[in-house]
């Protein structure tokens, strides 16, 4: 029938475009992962090699000569803790802001998000001084707080937007049924905005995980993160592409796992949200 | 004497260079000797400069041992560096093995002092120097034809000129298929371009400033910039001509990328840092045994080779006790044994900054192929380069970073066709002079007396 | 469901202890705002102070009052001016491309019947790589000697020159690297918006015979335009400040082709140690971001979507 032919034709075109888009996105990553298993000679050959004898030398070298586990842990800790704090506080403040009504409310909202626009190189010095007096230099706690400077405003602002989109009717219904305001927040508003919370958390995690500028400034030998480890491979006598590919692969892998795990939840949550009306 | 600071922890911040890698691999020896724990933080240079500046400027002093790049850290912050003569002369502390005279004099001045002969603020730690690397196998193969066509013997000697270098490179471009280009350069818009250009600038008799000690001791006020002199303009014009026939990737290459291209047989010759010899002669290198090393060619005036070494300094902002512990580390790290170990190390390969080490039989033996210590194959080339007349020392002034940025930006624009050599040099001179007048204020902050 | 008077009274009821009437919302909001202020006001005021001084870090941080010197210098500095122009060009190119491609990708994934989850997870990957690593990977792929892309472009004859060594292609290359990394961000946010478009209206439109593009124009676009502006705003904030990719690939070259304003800021602060001037430049960048954000918020408000 015409209808299903057209539908199948459309799907074919869609998947064709999808393949192109996937190529654009994945070829660099695929190449990087592939390269991490090549010997140094194969890596630098002038004609790209797709067939080669794999070698684990870069991974071994990475784990042997550098404190890679430490870096991974530091990155996870700093990014993870900062994300959790930002999301929790962001939900609280975002809800409070969206449900309150006072003059200058949108000015406050704008101020909140403007704190995230700080030009990095310029704020490093005052933040450094602040951290120094608080004894937070070279600590993971310091990094967590440094990341909060951009995660917190982001979380507040996004959750504010999500809560603002939520009609108060649902919470009011709950309160009619005897819930306190906080319970209305906790049991009604929060679950419905779950997709927004997950999106916010993912983004906060990404921004923290990827940070280089703050890590260089505030982290010390004990609290160094993965991006620093990667940049370190740019030595005076050579850029160790092999180890760099390996680090890149290590960086992308947990995110891929997290992404896969949370993805189903998020898509389900998104479509669930669509049906709420 | 060595164990008096047992239990202390030191923080050493360094660029990720060969000697530091070797030392990091052998830290347990220092621990055994002194009971001092050393944490090494290796960063790439820009990040290192930023962290060191914050640490010194804020008075934090948490990094007691500094890899003090003479131009980016030592010159601006010379006042904050501890005077090492005090430690060397202290009878309760170990003194420099074989005395201070064992360090190569030009390197000691460049890495260890600023403006003032009396104060010693660093001990020379590494000494990469630019030399002429070339595929001697290709020179042998085509030598006769080249001599015929060019009218001179292309084999690099002390008398080879840049003009000849140009013609050799051009000849390779035209006549040799197995290698795409005759010459490659580290002409990325970065320090590397400044280094590559400076060699030619000096060889033509040009310079950044008309000041005798600006490169060795350095100074706060070098006088006006002389990049608009006829010699400098001639040098710039030649450099543009040379890069015109060089491998097009040159404008994107720093020294690492250049070496990769050289090893991948993309260029027949390259002016690069001598310490790359270790990698070029490594077992897995495609060009091992095929590389010749010579001093850089002469210009109309002389032959100069850019020196890129650094010294270790002690942070004057740290508590005095930690400074003394740091002194122990400095003495150990620059000792003949440690330097020899670094030279021989598998992970390292940096060449020593001490003259006496080059006299050792095993080191001398390594100067001829086949060699256990491939960096020594370059000794003939670099040793002459370290003489006061030949060494290429860039200006050691507090405003150097700005001037450096100015020169490599303008030369880069010249190379990509944006500007003529005259325009580039004039603009650079303008920025140099502007930076000088402005930075004088930044450099003369309140004098530090060194925290106790 | 209309709010009943009883519920409304409950929400305005006085707390039992008869203390000051701080609503729950305020209790949730104020402490967090306080923390935020702590983290952001001090640096902000400090930078303003720095911009009116010559700041030195030698022997302790010292300030030397310089009045408007840094500011007049900034407005007459041709290097900074050029960096701004390039910065804005870079900004428009990256955000523009990311917007178009991000919306396109979101629409694509949204319409997929099979493998939606998988496609989404894969397409999000670039976002999870640190810009530093993306830059290094970009260098690895475009290097003339062993780069995969360079080899491909060279052997197919499309582009024979050195990618990062030629000014025009270098700028294009770093723009594409940024687009590669951040398009997934736009896609993610727009997809969230697409998923909450009112299904009922869409169905009604289909029943009325509206084709795909008509439904897109008349139902979907109005519904998600708010979200799209949010995505734009989030990306724009960072597009003007991030410089890791350019820093690690071309460092502003060749011939200054890729020297955008955040790179100049970093140089001024941490290579030249001219912190007072850097503060002025930084404030200029902040002003730009605020202007752009204001524009976006105005658009949101016009559509009644900003609260």
Q: What angle do CA C179, C180, C186 make, to 5 degrees?
A: 65
Token duo for residue A62: 């990475």
- The pLDDT, as a whole number, for residue B140 is 94
The string of pLDDT tens digits covering residues C293-302 is: 888 878 877 7
Average pLDDT over residues B16-33: 88
Average pLDDT over residues A166-190: 83
CA B380 to chain centre: 17
CA distances from A272 to A267, B281, C198 (A): 8, 63, 12
Q: Which CATH number fits domain C69-302: 1.10.3720.10, 3.40.50.11740, 3.40.50.1820, 3.40.50.1100?
A: 1.10.3720.10
How far apart CA B107 and CA B308 sit, in angstroms, is: 10
pLDDT band at C59 (very low <50, low <70, confident <90, very high): low
Which residues face C54 on adjacent strands?
A: C64
- The pLDDT, as a whole number, for residue C36 is 92
Are C56 and B442 a contacting pair at CB < 8 A?
Answer: yes
User: Closest by alpha carbon to A122, among B181, B423, B255, C284?
Assistant: C284
Residues of B in contact with A216 (CB under 8 A): 43, 47, 50-51
In angstroms, the separation between the Cα of residue C249 and the nearest Cα of chain B is 9
Domain-by-domain residue ranges, chain A? 2-43, 67-232
- The pLDDT, as a whole number, for residue A198 is 82
Greatest alpha-carbon span in chain B: 70
Average pLDDT over residues B348-366: 88
User: Closest by alpha carbon to B320, among B92, B18, B25?
Assistant: B92
pLDDT at B120 over 70: yes
3-state SS, residue C150: helix
Q: What is the mean pLDDT of chain A?
A: 84
Subunit partners of chain A (3 or more CB pairs within 8 A): B, C
User: What pTM value is reported for the model?
Assistant: 0.87
Are C199 and A275 a contacting pair at CB < 8 A?
Answer: yes
Are A237 and B17 a contacting pair at CB < 8 A?
Answer: yes
- The superfamily CATH assigns to domain A67-232 is MetI-like (1.10.3720.10)
Q: Which CATH class is domain B130-306+392-443?
A: alpha beta
A240, closest residue in chain B (CA to CA): B256
Are B276 and A237 a contacting pair at CB < 8 A?
Answer: yes
Residues of B in contact with A46 (CB under 8 A): 264, 266
Choose among C62, C254, C271: nearest Cβ to B251: C254
Are B249 and C165 a contacting pair at CB < 8 A?
Answer: yes
Sign of the C-alpha dihedral computed for residues C263, C269, C272 and C274 taken in this order: positive
How far apart CA C221 and CA C216 sit, in angstroms, is: 6
- The pLDDT, as a whole number, for residue B357 is 92
C142 φ/ψ sector (left φ>0, alpha ψ -120 to 50, else beta)? alpha
C139 φ/ψ sector (left φ>0, alpha ψ -120 to 50, else beta)? alpha
Q: What is the DSSP code string of B333-371? A: HTSHHHHHHHHH-SS--PPPSBGGGGGSHHHHHTTSSS-
Q: Decide if C251 touches A, using CB distance below 8 A.
A: no
For chain C positions 169-208, those within 8 Å of chain B (CB to CB) are 170
How far apart CA C293 and CA C241 sit, in angstroms, is: 14
Strands B391-392 and B305-306, by their bridges, are: parallel
Angle separating helix axes C131-142 and C167-195, nearest 10 degrees: 130
Cis peptide leading into residue B370 (ω within 30°): yes
Average pLDDT over residues B31-44: 90
Average pLDDT over residues C283-304: 84
Choose among A22, A110, A145: nearest Cβ to C297: A110
Subunit partners of chain B (3 or more CB pairs within 8 A): A, C
The string of pLDDT tens digits covering residues A255-268 is: 777 777 776 665 55
Residue extent(s) of CATH 3.40.190.10 domains in chain B: 9-128+308-359, 130-306+392-443
Are C167 and B416 a contacting pair at CB < 8 A?
Answer: yes
The string of pLDDT tens digits covering residues B50-77 is: 899 889 888 888 899 999 999 989 988 8
How far apart CA C243 and CA C285 sit, in angstroms, is: 13
ipTM of the complex: 0.85
- The pLDDT, as a whole number, for residue C60 is 67
Domain-by-domain residue ranges, chain C? 69-302
Cβ within 8 Å of residue B21, ≥6 positions away: A235, B42, B345, B347, B348
How far apart CA B104 and CA A203 sit, in angstroms, is: 54
How far apart CA B32 and CA B222 sit, in angstroms, is: 46
Report chain B's C-alpha Rg in angstroms: 22
pLDDT band at B82 (very low <50, low <70, confident <90, very high): very high
State the CB neighbour count (10 A cutoff) for residue B152: 14
Are A181 and C24 a contacting pair at CB < 8 A?
Answer: yes
Average pLDDT over residues B221-238: 94
pLDDT at B181 over 50: yes
Task: Give the domain B9-128+308-359 fold.
Answer: D-Maltodextrin-Binding Protein; domain 2 (3.40.190)
pLDDT band at A189 (very low <50, low <70, confident <90, very high): confident
Q: What is the mean pLDDT of chain C?
A: 84
User: Closest by alpha carbon to B119, among B74, B166, B85, B161?
Assistant: B85
In angstroms, the separation between the Cα of residue C167 and the nearest Cα of chain A is 23
User: Closest by alpha carbon to A159, among A104, A80, A255, A86?
Assistant: A86
* Contact (CB, 8 A) for B338 and B353: no
Choose among A65, A128, A220: nearest Cβ to B41: A220
pLDDT at A240 over 90: no
The string of pLDDT tens digits covering residues B275-311 is: 899 889 888 889 999 999 999 999 999 999 999 999 9
Token duo for residue B161: 């000129």
State the CB neighbour count (10 A cutoff) for residue C118: 14
pLDDT at A275 over 60: no
Are C270 and B247 a contacting pair at CB < 8 A?
Answer: no
pLDDT at B441 over 80: no
The string of pLDDT tens digits covering residues B362-420 is: 999 989 888 888 889 999 999 999 999 999 999 999 889 899 999 999 999 999 988 99
How far apart CA B304 and CA B286 sit, in angstroms, is: 29
- The pLDDT, as a whole number, for residue C22 is 72
Residues of C in contact with B72 (CB under 8 A): 271
The string of pLDDT tens digits covering residues A110-157 is: 899 889 888 888 888 899 988 988 888 888 999 999 999 999 999 998
A109, closest residue in chain C (CA to CA): C307
Q: Decide if B280 touches A, using CB distance below 8 A.
A: no
Locus of tokens 């990311």: C98
Subunit partners of chain C (3 or more CB pairs within 8 A): A, B
How far apart CA A126 and CA A123 sit, in angstroms, is: 6
How far apart CA C212 and CA C201 sit, in angstroms, is: 14
pLDDT band at A3 (very low <50, low <70, confident <90, very high): low
In a mutational test of the C interface, the residue from A105, A119, A189 whose CB has the highest number of chain C CBs within 10 Å is A119
The string of pLDDT tens digits covering residues C24-44 is: 888 889 999 999 998 899 999
């Amino acid at each position: 029938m015409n209808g299903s032919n057209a539908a199948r034709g459309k799907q074919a075109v869609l998947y064709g475009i999808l393949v192109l888009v996937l190529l654009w996105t994945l070829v660099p990553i695929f190449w990087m992962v592939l390269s991490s298993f090549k010997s140094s000679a194969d890596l630098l050959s002038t004609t790209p090699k797709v067939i080669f004898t794999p070698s684990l030398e870069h991974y071994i070298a990475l784990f042997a000569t550098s404190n890679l586990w430490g870096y991974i842990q530091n990155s996870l800790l700093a990014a993870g803790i900062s994300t959790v704090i930002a999301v929790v506080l962001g939900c609280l403040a975002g809800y409070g802001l969206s449900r309150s009504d006072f003059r200058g409310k949108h000015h406050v909202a704008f101020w909140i998000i403007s704190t995230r626009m700080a030009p990095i190189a310029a704020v490093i010095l005052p933040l450094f001084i602040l951290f120094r007096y608080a004894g937070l230099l070279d600590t993971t706690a310091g990094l967590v707080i440094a990341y909060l400077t951009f995660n917190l405003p982001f979380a507040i602002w996004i959750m504010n937007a999500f809560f603002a989109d939520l009609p108060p009717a649902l919470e009011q219904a709950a309160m009619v049924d005897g819930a306190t305001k906080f319970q209305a927040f906790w049991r009604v508003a929060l679950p419905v905005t779950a997709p927004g919370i997950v999106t916010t958390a993912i983004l906060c995690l990404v921004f923290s995980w990827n940070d280089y500028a703050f890590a260089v400034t505030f982290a010390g030998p004990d609290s160094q993160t993965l991006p620093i480890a990667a940049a370190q491979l740019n030595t005076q006598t050579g850029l160790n592409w092999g180890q760099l590919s390996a680090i890149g692969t290590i960086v992308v892998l947990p995110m891929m796992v997290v992404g896969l795990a949370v993805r189903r939840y998020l898509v389900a949550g998104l479509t669930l949200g669509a049906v709420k009306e | 004497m060595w164990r008096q600071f047992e239990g202390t922890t030191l923080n050493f911040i360094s660029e990720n260079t060969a000697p530091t890698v070797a030392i990091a691999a052998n830290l347990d020896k220092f621990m055994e000797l002194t009971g001092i724990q050393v944490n090494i933080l290796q960063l790439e240079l820009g990040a290192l400069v930023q962290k060191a500046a914050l640490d010194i400027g804020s008075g934090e002093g948490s990094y007691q041992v500094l890899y003090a790049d003479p131009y980016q850290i030592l010159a601006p912050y010379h006042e904050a560096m501890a005077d090492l003569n005090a430690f060397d002369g202290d009878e309760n502390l170990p003194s420099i093995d074989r005395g201070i005279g064992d360090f190569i004099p030009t390197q000691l001045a460049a890495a260890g002092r600023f403006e003032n002969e009396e104060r010693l603020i660093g001990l020379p730690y590494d000494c990469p120097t630019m030399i002429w690397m070339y595929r001697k196998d290709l020179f042998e193969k085509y030598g006769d034809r080249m001599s015929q066509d060019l009218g001179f013997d292309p084999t690099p000697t002390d008398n080879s000129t840049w003009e000849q270098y140009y013609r050799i490179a051009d000849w390779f471009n035209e006549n040799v298929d197995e290698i795409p280009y005759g010459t490659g350069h580290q002409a990325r818009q970065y320090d590397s371009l400044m280094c590559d250009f400076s060699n030619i600038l000096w060889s033509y008799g040009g310079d950044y400033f008309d000041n005798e000690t600006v490169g060795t001791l350095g100074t706060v006020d070098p006088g006006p910039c002389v990049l608009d002199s006829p010699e400098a303009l001639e040098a710039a014009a030649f450099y543009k001509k040379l890069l015109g026939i060089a491998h097009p990737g040159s404008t994107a290459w720093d020294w690492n990328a250049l070496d990769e291209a050289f090893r991948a047989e993309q260029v027949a010759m390259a002016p690069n840092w001598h310490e790359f010899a270790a990698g070029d002669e490594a077992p897995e290198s495609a060009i091992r045994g095929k590389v010749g090393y010579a001093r850089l060619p002469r210009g109309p005036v002389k032959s100069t080779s850019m020196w890129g070494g650094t010294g270790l300094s002690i942070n004057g902002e740290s508590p005095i006790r930690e400074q003394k512990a740091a002194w122990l580390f400095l003495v150990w790290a620059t000792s003949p044994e440690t330097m020899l170990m670094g030279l021989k190390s598998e992970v390292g390969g940096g060449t020593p900054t001490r003259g006496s080490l080059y006299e050792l039989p095993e080191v001398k033996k390594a100067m001829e192929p086949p060699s256990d210590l491939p960096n020594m194959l370059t000794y003939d080339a670099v040793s002459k380069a370290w003489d006061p007349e030949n060494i290429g020392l860039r200006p050691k002034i507090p405003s150097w970073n700005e001037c450096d940025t100015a020169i490599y930006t303008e030369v880069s624009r010249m190379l990509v066709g944006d500007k003529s050599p005259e325009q580039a040099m004039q603009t650079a001179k303008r920025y140099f002079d502007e930076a000088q007048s402005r930075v004088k204020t930044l450099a003369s902050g309140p004098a530090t007396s060194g925290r106790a | 469901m209309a709010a009943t008077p009883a519920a409304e009274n409950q929400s305005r009821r006085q707390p039992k202890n008869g203390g000051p009437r701080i609503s729950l919302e305020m209790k949730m909001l104020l402490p967090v705002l306080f923390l935020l202020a702590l983290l952001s006001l001090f640096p902000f005021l400090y930078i303003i102070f720095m911009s009116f001084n010559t700041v030195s870090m030698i022997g302790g941080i010292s300030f030397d009052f310089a009045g408007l010197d840094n500011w007049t210098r900034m407005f007459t500095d041709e290097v900074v001016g050029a960096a701004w122009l390039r910065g804005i060009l870079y900004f428009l190119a990256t955000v523009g491309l990311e917007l178009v491609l991000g919306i396109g990708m979101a629409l694509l994934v949204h319409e997929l019947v099979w493998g939606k989850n998988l496609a989404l997870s894969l397409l999000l990957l670039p976002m999870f790589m640190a810009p530093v690593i993306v830059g290094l990977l970009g260098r690895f792929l475009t290097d003339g000697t062993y780069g995969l892309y360079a080899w491909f472009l060279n052997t197919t004859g499309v582009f024979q020159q050195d990618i990062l060594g030629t000014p025009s292609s270098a700028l294009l290359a770093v723009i594409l690297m940024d687009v590669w990394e951040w398009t997934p961000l736009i896609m993610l946010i727009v997809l969230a918006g697409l998923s909450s478009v009112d299904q009922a209206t869409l169905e009604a439109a289909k029943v009325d015979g509206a084709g795909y593009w008509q439904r897109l124009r008349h139902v979907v676009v109005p519904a998600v335009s708010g979200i799209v502006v949010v995505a734009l705003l989030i990306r724009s904030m960072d597009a003007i400040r991030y410089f890791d990719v350019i820093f690690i690939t071309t460092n502003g070259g060749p011939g200054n082709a890729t020297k955008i304003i955040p790179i100049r800021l970093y140089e001024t602060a941490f290579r030249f140690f001219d912190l007072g001037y850097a503060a002025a430049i930084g404030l200029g960048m902040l002003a730009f971001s605020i202007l752009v954000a204001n524009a976006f918020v105005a658009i949101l408000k016009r559509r009644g979507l900003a609260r």
